[in-house]
Copies of this chain bind each other. A is one copy, B any other.
């Protein structure tokens, strides 16, 4: 009963400049490959504790319940929603990209009565818009996307929690693309629950979702009268497994992925958050200078641009798929296509975590010039490199 066996894994070495995953550090890959231990092994429990401590530093929070869900970022989104929303609850969700739309979908599946505030892709919400929606709908939860991975827009957070909390609502924040690449100040911002992904600015392979829950979120959870609809993501049980005092088996944690996250978080904290954010900004500005020298425009207004995810309009007459395919096949560089209404109109160029380096900025610009030349797009050869190098000075 022998079946045919394919060739062994022989993964190409890509430069991951899309919307995630980003490049993984060799130390993270080496940690992934360490021996698997049991999910209740004393050594593994220690590693879980350390992961929680480091996640608190990265989220800038004192929240005890700061853990990693055993799924990708979308599982973290679902965990936040299904635990904090009961059927019939009114919620307000900001939709200005694909991931706000996903949050709306998840909340509807949880039985919530969902009201959206909407903005065209690439824009963000004003405090007035948020306040008006909260005033009108008196929700129990407000969900916003800090860093819209589909558009490259960053939602300003100052003053948001005050509006949300005045109405007695919880503030839930999507930090999938921002965490580890620019400030995510959970406690200072008054965010009650937030989730992220490992494969963006933390530069760990995808598979886990860092999450944090503050005291108001936990009070809501404790006051639930109905069961959480997801067994797998039920925080009442998941948190007992992560509790430092007494561990209760829930599901088998993804052991080796937790090793990888532990290592990725260590690298983040060794660099230091401020230095890491400055690096992301510096490389973004150099990339911007280079792209603008080619006449390429950003899709997001300057004040709201994410440094780790650069969404730019594809120049007229340039073939989207052809350029992305050539970047991948000739230079091993992955960038992202547009999503939703931006499909075919934008590229998403990621400078996340390990990927965010001067050498990747220069290599990408040089490779892009090659692709644009092949497309007979008119530009001054070498101008993007000169501009980026100028920005690096």
User: Once the chains bind, are B9 and A36 in contact (CB under 8 Å)?
Assistant: no
User: Once the chains bind, are A251 and B35 in contact (CB under 8 Å)?
Assistant: no
- Rounded to whole angstroms, the CA-CA distance of A272 and B13 in the bound complex is 32
Q: Which of A59-85 contact B (CB under 8 A)?
A: 70-75, 77-78
A residues adjacent to B (C-beta < 8 A) = 1-6, 8-14, 16, 18, 20-21, 23-24, 27, 29-39, 41-43, 47, 50, 53-54, 57, 70-75, 77-78, 102, 105-106, 108-110, 197, 199, 205-207, 227-232, 249, 251-257, 259-260, 262-263, 266, 269-270, 272-274, 328, 334, 339
Known A36-B24, A71-B75: A5·B270 in contact at CB below 8 Å? yes
User: Once the chains bind, are B273 and A1 in contact (CB under 8 Å)?
Assistant: yes
- Rounded to whole angstroms, the CA-CA distance of A217 and B251 in the bound complex is 26
User: Once the chains bind, are B9 and A37 in contact (CB under 8 Å)?
Assistant: no
* Shortest Cβ distance from residue A289 to the other chain B in the assembled complex, whole angstroms: 26
User: Once the chains bind, are B23 and A36 in contact (CB under 8 Å)?
Assistant: yes
User: Once the chains bind, are B34 and A9 in contact (CB under 8 Å)?
Assistant: yes
User: Once the chains bind, are A35 and B50 in contact (CB under 8 Å)?
Assistant: no
User: Once the chains bind, are B273 and A205 in contact (CB under 8 Å)?
Assistant: no
- Stoichiometry, as copies per complex, reads 2
Which residue of B43, B251, B257 is within 8 Å of A254 (Cβ)?
B257
User: Once the chains bind, are A106 and B231 in contact (CB under 8 Å)?
Assistant: yes
Report which residue of A4, A5, A33, A262 has the largest number of chain B beta carbons within 10 angstroms of its beta carbon.
A33
User: Once the chains bind, are B206 and A253 in contact (CB under 8 Å)?
Assistant: yes
- Rounded to whole angstroms, the CA-CA distance of A230 and B78 in the bound complex is 8
* Shortest Cβ distance from residue A181 to the other chain B in the assembled complex, whole angstroms: 15
Known A21-B36, A34-B11: A274·B16 in contact at CB below 8 Å? no
- List 11 A-B residue pairs with CB atoms under 8 Å apart, sorted by A's residue number: A5-B54, A6-B54, A8-B263, A14-B35, A21-B39, A24-B256, A32-B32, A74-B252, A78-B231, A109-B229, A254-B257
* Chain B residues closer than 8 Å to A108, beta-carbon distance: 227
Known A230-B109, A257-B257: A8·B31 in contact at CB below 8 Å? yes
User: Once the chains bind, are A38 and B9 in contact (CB under 8 Å)?
Assistant: no
User: Once the chains bind, are B30 and A13 in contact (CB under 8 Å)?
Assistant: no
User: Once the chains bind, are B33 and A30 in contact (CB under 8 Å)?
Assistant: yes
User: Once the chains bind, are A102 and B5 in contact (CB under 8 Å)?
Assistant: no
User: Once the chains bind, are B74 and A231 in contact (CB under 8 Å)?
Assistant: yes
Known A71-B75, A227-B108: A197·B252 in contact at CB below 8 Å? yes
